[in-house]
Amino acid sequence: MGKIIQIAPSLLAADLWKIGEQVKKVEDAGADMLHIDVMDGQFVPNISFGLPIVQSIRKNSGMLLDVHLMINTPENYIERFVKSGADLVTIHVEATEQVERCLLTIRALGAKSGLSVKPNTPLSDIVPFLQYVDLLLVMTVEPGYGGQAYIEAMTDKIREARTLIDKSGYEILLQVDGGIVQHNIAEVVQAGAQVLVAGTSVFGAQNIADAIYHLKEIAQQQDV
Ligand code: DX5
Ligand code: ZN
């Protein structure tokens, strides 16, 4: 182990009335990246943010922007998201026939490439693409909404993903997203997760900065 655990607050749970203030808060509190959930109402049954949010945050913040595309045919939008300021673009393996091309495009545009799997998608589906991946996102809830409960069965999948990455020899970060809260941080970190997306448990907390310090503290204690 000995890996640095990173915290990625998910904007989905932020108070959008105070978006600038809230992003600054998580940045000042030492969050490692800002997770921005993009939903198209097709790939998932919900609609969230699009390009203008990424552009606006990019203009006003130095944070690493981690854009999670929950959209069909992401190939049509990758370039615009990177040009809008995304540092990391994650697509879903279930969302396109052109996974390899998408990942190569993201890298060619100078961003980091992420590949995600929904809870019921087996990891074998992403094996052919590992060489093009900088970050593997194992969804720990059904994508579409914040505030859902962590699916316990995903802990084994995280472990399996860790083994897959280690065996591959590629440098791939392992991210988890959905229902990550104080009491399951130890479990996911022990299973091998390195980047923890946290929406409700950060932006829904009374004190956002304290919540981040706390999550980081628990994560680092596990990762010895
Ligand atoms: C779900 C999103 C998540 C969500 C996580 O579709 O991909 O990023 O914001 O929110 P919490 O941490 O509240 O489960
Ligand atoms: Zn997400």
Expressed in angstroms and rounded, the spacing between residue 10 Cα and the centre of ligand 2 is 7
Q: Where are the domains of the chain?
A: 6-220
CATH, domain range 6-220: 3.20.20.70
Atom from ligand 1 closest to the CA of residue 148: 14
pLDDT at 2: 59
Closest of 85, 64, 98, 199 to residue 143, by C-alpha: 199
With bands split at pLDDT 50, 70 and 90, how would you rate the model's confidence at 72?
Answer: very high
Q: Are 115 and 102 in contact (CB under 8 A)?
A: no
209 CA → ligand 2 middle, Å: 20
Tell me 102's DSSP state. H
Protein residue whose Cα sits closest to atom 4 of ligand 1: 146
> Which single residue is written with the structure tokens 């970060």?
173
Pocket test of ligand 1: the residue of 7, 10, 53, 202 to mutate, having most ligand atoms within 8 Å of its CB, is 10
Residue 223 pLDDT class (50, 70, 90 cuts): low
Annotated catalytic, 177?
yes
What is the spatial distance between Cα 83 and Cα 65, in angstroms, rounded to a whole number?
12
Task: Please give the radius of gyration of the chain, using alpha carbons only, rounded to the nearest integer.
Answer: 16
- The verdict on whether 28 is a catalytic residue reads no
Cβ atoms 70, 40 nearer than 8 A: yes
* Per-residue pLDDT tens over the stretch 85-140: 999 999 999 999 999 999 999 999 999 999 999 999 999 999 999 999 999 999 99
Cβ 200 vs Cβ 16: under 8 Å: no
Q: Round the average pLDDT of the chain to a whole number and report it.
A: 97
**pTM for this prediction:** 0.98
For residues 178 and 148, is the Cβ–Cβ distance under 8 A?
yes
Q: Say what the pLDDT of residue 221 is.
A: 87
